[in-house]
Homo-oligomer: A and B are copies of this chain.
Amino acid sequence: MSKTFSITELAQEFAVTNRTIRFYETEGMLTPLREGQRRIYRPRDRVRLKLILRGKRLGLSLQEIREVIDLYDAAKGEAGQLQLLLDKIESRREDLEHKRRDIDTTLADLDDVAAKCRERLRQLDLDQVSQETSDGEIKSLKRGRAAK
């Protein structure tokens, strides 16, 4: 009923190699069906791959990604496990929020640098204009006027 995918389809959709997808399988992170020898990926395999790649973008190791995915799966688990699970989730949340703050800080820093950049560009423009109006033509680009 629901759609399935070949290895190459998935590889292309997510811009990874077939080898990478097979590797994730040997690591027990994907479990496609087989049709004879060929791998058949169901939507749930695709979701998993998506989770794996998202984790990678965040700099998680495959081991950490495995743990995250286990969190999802563990939602099937029973009581005693549940509190432990909630604890793990909380800890993961703290890690992610830390990363979020890192990102925000970095973005602010980049803004800062970009602002100084644009300022400097404006300054160079002005230099040029005043040279045009006072000189009638541009001789050469001034260099070395430090931005303090």
Q: Tell me the A residues contacting B by CB distance below 8 Å.
A: 54, 56-60, 68, 71-72, 75-76, 78-79, 82-83, 85-86, 89-90, 92-93, 96-100, 102-107, 109-110, 113-114, 116-118, 120-121, 124, 141, 143, 147
Contacts and interface: CB of A to CB of B under 8 A. Distances in A.
B114 A89 contact: yes
Contacts of A96: 103, 106-107, 110
A135 to B, nearest CB: 18
A140 to B, nearest CB: 12
- Quick one: copies of this chain in the complex? 2
Contacts of A103: 58, 96, 99-100, 103
Contact of A121 (B54, B56, B83, B124): B83
A118 B12 CA distance: 38
A121 B57 contact: no
Contacts of A82: 117, 120-121, 124
B57 A143 contact: no
B102 A54 contact: yes
Contacts of A99: 57-58, 99, 103
